[in-house]
Amino acid sequence: MSGGFRTLLYKEILRFWKVLVQTVGAPVLTALLYLLVFSHVLSEHVQVYPGVRYTAFLMPGLIMMSILQNAFANSSSSLIQSKITGNIVFVLLPPLSYLEFFLAYLIAALVRGFAVGVGVLLVGLFFADIEMRYPLWILAFALASGAVFACIGILAGIWANQFDNLAAVQNFIIMPLTFLSGVFFSIHSLSPFWQSVTHLNPVFYMIDGFRYGFFGQGDVDPWLGLAVVTPFVLLLSGLTLVMLKSGYKLRH
Amino acid sequence: MTTAVRLRGVEKHFPHVHALRGIDLDIEQGEFFALLGPNGAGKTTLISILAGLTRATKGVVEIMGFDVTRQYREARRALGVVPQELVYDPFFTVRETLRLQSGYFGLRRNDAWIDELLDNLGLADKADTYTRRLSGGMKRRVLVAQALVHKPPVIVLDEPTAGVDVELRQSLWAFIRRFNREGHTIVLTTHYLEEAEALCQRVAMLKEGRIVALDRTENLLRAGAERHLLLELDPPELPAFLQSRLKGREGQHFVLDLPDYGDLEAILANLRAAGIAIRGMSLAQADLEEVFLKIMHGGAS
């Protein structure tokens, strides 16, 4: 890794750090609103795991949703802004490899996702006792899942020609996948049909495995979850690297 | 000595445009070189290929002997580019922008040089201002500073003075000239032909993706230009021996062809012998603009 890589990573982190209220504060507030509303409305009605209060159950889902959405938002919005304002040339002219370029955007997106995730966790501690039984599972699923959405963000940011394109990805792909993944409920409360549909959603395994790390129980085995999520990490990283190497929409 | 910029058979096809149709060009170290051409001639495409922002469809492109795709790290380290668009990153101040740009080139502690750049470009008091708050001319200076953070041996300026006030143009060129005197190679594209004429030792003219003229500036001026002698005579009639030179009239003046200054002596002597007084006289030498227009309209030379 060249010195240029460290600077690009630093710049990508500094970029969202400078507007922390928007980039971390706002998503933490959003998660807090979900927490307040859903725990109030649903705590009496939703059957989750024995011995786990609904508010506590909800927390890992909200944290993971925040990590995923913000990892996506960081890489995609940084790239589309740089492309639209034209300052993307500042990082295309220096001697950076496509691998360095990829890692800088990936890691910065993970840092942003984790910053929001930790923020949501800290706020959540006021509302529920949250145990963290298997920190390694928590970390593994946070990293793998965050990386998947960081990659989607890089791909979308490079592909998109305008903010509308990104909003479409956000509204028609990211939001449905996260909302229908079991953030707010255990899929055991679903009909068999919707249970099998949810099993096709990779985000379900991300959230379920992450939640397993907190409570030691989940809808599926965490190893199965990891076996589903890991290929997505490899596939999307590979796809992103191929795209960056080809210079698609960056080096015409 | 290594050639600063070397292009061999460079072609670029875009989906609907054949932007470059075989460019061969050597720019030597220490040259001050101009790329001229109308809009759409391929100047910016050529510069983008040097910078690695665009990939050539065919051909060899080297900066200081380094291939821009295979040895892109060395090639990019050897090159500083001032882009045509007034681009900036709204998140950062001028100093932050320059520190980041230094860092991308692997330069960790570059503040002494950054300060020198800021001083020389009249940006010292703007160092901690967000670039987005600066005027267009100031933003242009920041772009120049950004291109120079790593002291590249080859500096490319893509229409650096478009829309820039006269004062800045002067100080900008003074600064770039200094780099050139210190041995840096300068390549510029410009719409202001008088700039190319004043600054550049050599000029390439591009038309529809081809180089249609490539020579030292003075040779182009000599070869492409017609020199004219303007005479106001008393009595105001042109004697027979000058009729063959007549090109036209400008007010009281006869405009005469004068390809060779050596003829001037004889013309004046003949007029004196014919008893014709000269009431006004001037010599008009074509500028690069005339050469340019002639070549652009006359097809390839």
Q: Which of B52, B92, B106 sits opposite A2 (nearest CB)?
A: B106
In this complex, how many residue pairs, one in chain A and one in chain B, have their CB atoms less than 8 Å apart? 84
d(C-alpha A136, C-alpha A184), whole Å: 23
* Closest residue in chain B to residue A85, using alpha carbons only: B87
Q: Which residue has the higher pLDDT, A239 or B212?
A: A239
Nearest CA in chain B to A19: B91
The pLDDT value recorded for residue B258 is 81
Between chains, do A82 and B77 touch, taking CB under 8 Å as contact? no
Cβ(B201)–Cβ(B247) below 8 Å: no
Binary contact (B74, A6; C-beta < 8 A): no
Whether the predicted pLDDT of B301 surpasses 70: no
Residue B84 main-chain phi, psi, to 5 deg = -70, -40
Q: What is the mean pLDDT of residues B43-56?
A: 94
Instruction: Please report the pLDDT score of residue A116 as a whole number.
Output: 98
Q: What is the pLDDT of residues B260-286, one digit of tens each?
A: 778 888 888 888 888 888 888 888 776
Prediction ipTM score: 0.90
Q: What local confidence, expressed as pLDDT, does residue B224 receive? A: 63
* Per-residue confidence (pLDDT) for residue B300, from 0 to 100: 44
| Token duo for residue A136 | 């390694």
Report pLDDT for B102.
97
- Indicate the angle between helix axes A3-17 and A54-85, nearest 10 degrees: 110
Hey, are the CB atoms on A251 and B14 less than 8 Å from each other? Answer: no
CA–CA separation, B156 and A140 (whole Å): 47
| Regions of chain A with pLDDT less than 50 | none
Question: Could you state, in order of their start, the residue ranges of all structural domains in chain A?
Answer: 3-246
CATH class of this structure's domain B5-222 = alpha beta
pTM: 0.88
Tens-place pLDDT, residues B100-135: 999 999 998 999 999 999 999 989 999 999 999 998
Q: Among all residues of chain B, which has the CA nearest to that of A3?
A: B106
Per DSSP, the residues of B220-276 read HHHHHPPPEEEEEEESS---GGGGGGEEEEETTEEEEE-S-TTHHHHHHHHHHHTTP
Which residue do the tokens 């720019």 mark? B27
pLDDT of residue A144: 98
Among B34, B84, B82, CA closest to B198: B34
Instruction: Determine, for residues A93 and B108 on separate chains, whether the beta-carbon distance falls below 8 Å.
Output: no
Q: Could you state, in order of their start, the residue ranges of all structural domains in chain B?
A: 5-222, 226-285
Answer yes or no: is pLDDT of B37 > 60: yes
A18-76 pLDDT, tens digit each: 999 999 999 999 999 999 998 888 777 666 777 788 888 899 999 999 999 999 999 99
Mean pLDDT of B19-40: 92
d(CA B214, CA A213): 70
Residues 6+ apart with CB under 8 A from B71: none
Supply the pLDDT for residue B225. Answer: 59
Q: Say which residue the tokens 């160092």 belong to.
A: B127
| pLDDT given at position B80 | 96
Q: Cβ separation of B103 and A3 shorter than 8 Å?
A: yes
pLDDT band with cut points at 50, 70 and 90 for residue B165? confident
Give the residue-averaged pLDDT of B71-86. Answer: 94
